[in-house]
């Protein structure tokens, strides 16, 4: 009788662990998809920021060159 109870407890524990692992793996998959989507959405913004920084550096260099010419 005790063997059956121990077996039932072991089965319930394994099922519980399986459900938890399934939830964690599913959550990691959803997180990966969200991160990929965020990267796709932010890529144009990053490119715009980089081009703005480059333009600001060119303007700064141009102004510095004009100041040195005077």
> pLDDT tens-digit profile of 9-46?
999 999 999 999 999 999 999 999 999 999 999 999 99
> Does this model's pTM top 0.85?
no
Q: What is the mean pLDDT of residues 51-57?
A: 96
Helix, strand, coil tally for the chain in percent (to 5): 95, 0, 5
Domain boundaries, the chain: 1-70
Residue with tokens 């102004």: 63
Q: Which of 5-9, 61-65, 66-70 has the highest mean pLDDT?
A: 5-9
Q: Which two tokens stand for residue 45?
A: 């913004």
d(CA 57, CA 63): 10
């Amino acid at each position: 009788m005790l063997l059956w109870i121990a077996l039932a407890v072991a089965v319930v524990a394994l099922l519980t662990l399986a459900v938890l692992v399934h939830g964690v793996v599913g959550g990691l998959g959803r997180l990966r998809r969200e991160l990929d989507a965020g990267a796709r959405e932010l890529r144009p913004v990053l490119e715009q920021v980089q081009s703005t920084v480059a333009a600001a550096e060119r303007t700064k260099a141009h102004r510095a060159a004009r100041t040195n010419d005077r």
